[in-house]
């Protein structure tokens, strides 16, 4: 027995030594750059030593199975770029209730061959004012309404066994006003007041407000809120109950990075960096996309590569395409692994309403011109609204009035324009600027809800064609597709949110309703709406099994001599495929010109809202 114990102790010691060597090698690979960047922002702060100790501690605490996943991902760094990547985003409570119950629904995910699941914020939050979970009270603890940290770790383990990577939001820019740091600041502790931006009078806030745009000018005007208890103005760019963090303070950076590593050790494999362009504030600037933001994200990327290289970063960057490339860094000094493809989402809906793909094609050309390390999560709907941030310079070039086009789009998708099939609502309408955003599920915005209400079977068939056209076009683009939970069964708007006093003020709740399991039960019953969409998503996944969806495939748009038809060409080796998508309600002809090495059909006929994928060689 003593001999067996000795052998076990020797094996454990050997494994620990090997682990130490792995950590040391990773740290050595990044140490010079990491320390240089840290000092660039924070000078000779002793928090650098705290940061490096925190990395060592997190690595030592990392479960053995996750360390094995780290090694596998290091050997396969393009794992998240494979053609079979297929994602879904959802609210835990709306889909299943809590984390334990969600773990019992994994077979539903396996039916869809999901490889990626993004759960909306589930860390401890105040109730009811929490901005859908984006006001975080404790970055290290699951909110009791969803379960416990142990439930989260158990869920991630089951998902990994099913080949599904879990994504969670990491809200970098702010905490809830009820966070322990904010409570200490309100109690008068100057140490924690320095975790935020707190001012005795309006002198500095007014200087910020002179140049910093407002995020929600109607629902949460201004960038500062007076805190009576503290007797100070505090920066709150989003909502008054969300206090902006001061990343000039190295303690803030180190503490937040410790929370990142804690989530990674619970099995989270993808971190969506919420509102990352906003995290660095500097007087005299608009406090967006500043160089220090990229320094922080670069340090974060290196930290992950040292401690938990299985984990990848997904940036939420709602900015113009020219701002996007910087968030990927460079191949030598990478930052985010991938970004939400916000601009293409908006342009897909614009093309559908207008029957004109020119703006969409132009945006795709700009994104396809980005370096090969730039990868996207493509989607049609998510938890958020559709903000009509189109390329105004390109609109002007095409003789499209930007304001009139925006007004057309948001009125179209609320069903207020002649010929509109959509049923949605406005979000954050601003009378002064005439700006507004749009809410609604994909099915309702595509006309399915209106057709059902009016008992119009031909209109329903057309609406389903629109829905599938958009999803297939989205999935054909560079990056990988992500569904909004319920889109796979055509879930409609949840108008009952207007009966809930805690939800009625936010029209985004229109598309944040409980998952309809009764409707989902119809997914395998031929002849049902649910089955038609379910099978349509299956054909989407089959389409992406083609070798032309490899990470290194060449992807480009192609001229069709038709403003209503989008053509996208994919090429891998000697194989070429073309996807053709008719964004109009009439039959169209696409005229294609081949070039050397890309032999395309000269002429393709497409029905209303029809899409075709043609193997060319």
- pLDDT digit string (tens) for 434-487? 999 999 999 999 999 999 999 999 999 999 999 999 999 999 999 999 999 999
pLDDT at residue 7, as a whole number: 46
Clarify whether residues 163 and 95 are in a common domain: yes
Report yes or no on 538 lying in a domain.
no
414 is catalytic: no
CATH number of the domain to which 185 belongs? 3.90.400.10
Q: Tell me the average pLDDT across 568-580.
A: 97
Q: What is the residue-wise DSSP string for 155-202?
A: HHHHHHHTT-EEEEEEE-SEEETTSHHHHHHHTT-HHHHTTS-EESSS
Report yes or no on 499 lying in a domain.
no
Which helix (H) or strand (E) element contains residue 484?
A: strand 480-484
pLDDT at residue 5, as a whole number: 54
pLDDT tens digit sequence for 87-117: 999 999 999 999 999 999 999 999 999 999 9
Clarify whether residues 207 and 315 are in a common domain: no
Domain termination site, one of 292, 310, 340: 340
Report yes or no on 283 lying in a domain.
yes
Clarify whether residues 263 and 158 are in a common domain: yes
Report yes or no on 213 lying in a domain.
yes
CATH number of the domain to which 558 belongs? 2.60.40.1180
Q: How far apart are CA 275 and CA 109, in angstroms?
A: 28
Q: Give me the sign of the Cα torsion angle 325, 327, 328, 330.
A: positive
Residue 14 has pLDDT above 70, yes or no: no
Which helix (H) or strand (E) element contains residue 595?
A: none
Of 31-40, 191-200, 215-224, 601-610, the least confident: 215-224
Q: Give me the sign of the Cα torsion angle 92, 98, 99, 104.
A: negative
Domain termination site, one of 244, 279, 301: 244
Q: Which residues contact 375 (CB under 8 A, 6 or more apart)?
A: 80, 81, 328, 337, 338, 339, 478, 479
Report yes or no on 260 lying in a domain.
yes
Per DSSP, the three-state class of 291 is: helix
Q: What percent of the chain has pLDDT over 70?
A: 98
Q: Which range of residues forms the domain containing residue 216?
A: 175-244
Residue recorded with tokens 């990478």? 334
Q: How far apart are CA 78 and CA 315, in angstroms?
A: 17
Q: Tell me the average pLDDT across 26-45.
A: 98
Clarify whether residues 288 and 182 are in a common domain: no
pLDDT tens digit sequence for 233-256: 999 999 999 999 999 999 999 999
Choosing from 93, 98, 143, 274, the catalytic residue is: 274
pLDDT tens digit sequence for 268-305: 999 999 999 999 999 999 999 999 999 999 999 999 99
Question: Can you give the three-state secondary structure of 342-381, one letter per residue?
Answer: HHHHHHHHHHHHHCCCHHHHHHHHHHHCCCCCCCEEEECC
Clarify whether residues 158 and 148 are in a common domain: yes
pLDDT at residue 13, as a whole number: 54
Domain termination site, one of 244, 266, 294: 244
Residue 12 has pLDDT above 70, yes or no: no
Clarify whether residues 102 and 223 are in a common domain: no
430 confidence band (pLDDT: 50, 70, 90)? confident
Clarify whether residues 190 and 117 are in a common domain: no
Q: Could you list the beta-strand ranges (E) of 7-137.
A: 87-90, 116-119, 123-124
Q: How many domains are contained in the chain?
A: 3
Structure tokens at 418: 């002649």
pLDDT at residue 466, as a whole number: 98
Q: Are 236 and 228 in contact (CB under 8 A)?
A: no
Q: How far apart are CA 540 and CA 525, in angstroms?
A: 19
Q: Are 377 and 341 in contact (CB under 8 A)?
A: yes
Quote the radius of gyration of the chain (alpha carbons, Å).
25
Of 2-11, 48-57, 159-168, 452-461, the least confident: 2-11
399 confidence band (pLDDT: 50, 70, 90)? very high
Report yes or no on 395 lying in a domain.
no
Clarify whether residues 153 and 181 are in a common domain: no
pLDDT at residue 9, as a whole number: 54
Angle between helices 342-354 and 457-475 (to 10 degrees): 150
Clarify whether residues 52 and 185 are in a common domain: no
Residue 570 has pLDDT above 50, yes or no: yes
pLDDT tens digit sequence for 594-607: 999 999 999 999 99
Q: What is the phi/psi pair of residue 353, to 5°?
A: -70, -40
Report yes or no on 475 lying in a domain.
no
Q: Tell me the average pLDDT across 183-195.
A: 98
Report yes or no on 83 lying in a domain.
yes
274 is catalytic: yes
Q: Which residues pair with 579 in a beta bridge?
A: 568, 613
pLDDT tens digit sequence for 310-361: 999 999 987 777 778 899 999 999 999 999 999 999 999 999 999 999 999 9
Choosing from 316, 356, 414, 487, the catalytic residue is: 316
Clarify whether residues 184 and 306 are in a common domain: no
Average pLDDT, the chain: 95
Clarify whether residues 234 and 114 are in a common domain: no
CATH number of the domain to which 325 belongs? 3.20.20.80
Which helix (H) or strand (E) element contains residue 382?
A: none
Q: Which of 48, 50, 53, 59 is nearest to 21 (CA)?
A: 59
Clarify whether residues 237 and 269 are in a common domain: no
């Amino acid at each position: 027995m003593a001999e067996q114990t000795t052998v076990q102790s020797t094996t454990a010691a050997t494994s620990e030594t090997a682990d130490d060597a792995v950590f040391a090698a990773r740290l050595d690979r990044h140490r010079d750059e990491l320390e240089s960047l840290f000092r660039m922002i924070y000078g000779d702060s002793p928090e650098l030593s705290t940061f490096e100790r925190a990395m060592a501690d997190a690595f030592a605490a990392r479960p053995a199975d996750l360390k094995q996943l780290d090694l596998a991902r290091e050997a396969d760094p393009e794992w998240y770029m494979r053609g079979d990547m297929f994602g879904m985003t959802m609210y835990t409570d709306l889909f299943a209730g809590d984390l334990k119950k969600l773990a019992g629904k994994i077979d539903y995910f396996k039916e869809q061959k999901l490889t990626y699941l993004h759960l909306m914020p589930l860390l401890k939050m105040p109730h009811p004012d929490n901005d859908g979970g984006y006001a975080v009270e404790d970055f290290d603890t699951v909110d009791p309404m969803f379960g416990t940290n142990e439930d989260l770790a158990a869920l991630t383990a089951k998902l990994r066994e099913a080949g599904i990577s879990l994504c969670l939001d990491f809200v970098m820019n702010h905490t809830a006003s009820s966070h322990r740091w904010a409570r200490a600041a309100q109690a008068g502790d100057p140490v924690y007041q320095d975790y935020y931006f707190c001012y005795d009078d309006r002198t500095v806030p007014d200087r910020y407000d002179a140049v910093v745009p407002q995020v929600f000018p109607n629902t949460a005007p201004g960038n500062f809120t007076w805190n009576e208890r503290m007797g100070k103005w505090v920066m709150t760019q989003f909502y008054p109950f969300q206090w902006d963090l001061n990343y000039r303070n190295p303690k803030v950076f180190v503490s937040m990075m410790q929370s990142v590593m804690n989530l990674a050790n619970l099995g989270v494999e993808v971190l969506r960096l919420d509102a990352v362009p906003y995290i660095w504030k500097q007087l005299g600037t608009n406090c967006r996309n500043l160089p220090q933001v990229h320094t922080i994200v670069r340090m974060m990327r290196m930290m992950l590569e040292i401690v938990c290289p299985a984990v990848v970063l997904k940036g939420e960057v709602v900015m113009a395409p020219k701002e996007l490339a910087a968030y990927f860094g460079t191949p030598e000094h990478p930052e985010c692994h991938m970004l939400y493809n916000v601009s293409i989402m908006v342009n897909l809906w614009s093309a559908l309403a207008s029957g004109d793909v020119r703006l969409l094609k132009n945006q795709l050309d700009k994104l396809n011109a980005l370096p090969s390390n730039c990868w996207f999560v493509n989607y049609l709907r998510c938890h958020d609204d559709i903000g009509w941030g189109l390329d105004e310079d390109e609109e002007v070039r095409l003789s499209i009035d930007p304001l009139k086009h925006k007004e057309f789009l948001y009125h179209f998708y609320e069903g207020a324009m002649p010929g509109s099939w959509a049923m949605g609502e406005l979000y954050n309408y601003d009378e002064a600027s005439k700006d507004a955003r749009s809410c609604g599920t994909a099915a309702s915005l595509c006309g399915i809800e209106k057709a059902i209400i009016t008992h119009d079977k031909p209109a329903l068939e057309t609406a389903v064609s629109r829905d599938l056209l958009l999803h297939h076009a989205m999935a054909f683009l560079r990056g990988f597709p992500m569904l909004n939970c319920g889109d796979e069964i055509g879930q409609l708007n949840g108008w009952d949110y207007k009966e809930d006093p805690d939800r009625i003020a936010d029209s985004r709740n229109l598309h944040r309703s409980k998952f309809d399991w009764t409707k989902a039960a119809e997914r395998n019953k031929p002849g049902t709406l649910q089955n038609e969409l379910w099978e349509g998503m299956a054909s989407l996944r089959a389409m992406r099994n083609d070798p032309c969806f490899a990470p290194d495939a060449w992807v480009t748009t192609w001229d069709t001599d038709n403003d209503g038809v989008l053509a996208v060409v994919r090429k891998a080796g000697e194989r070429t495929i073309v996807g053709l998508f008719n964004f109009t309600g009439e039959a169209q002809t696409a005229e294609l010109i081949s070039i050397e090495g890309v032999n395309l059909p000269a002429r393709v006929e497409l029905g209303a809202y029809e899409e075709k994928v043609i193997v060319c060689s």
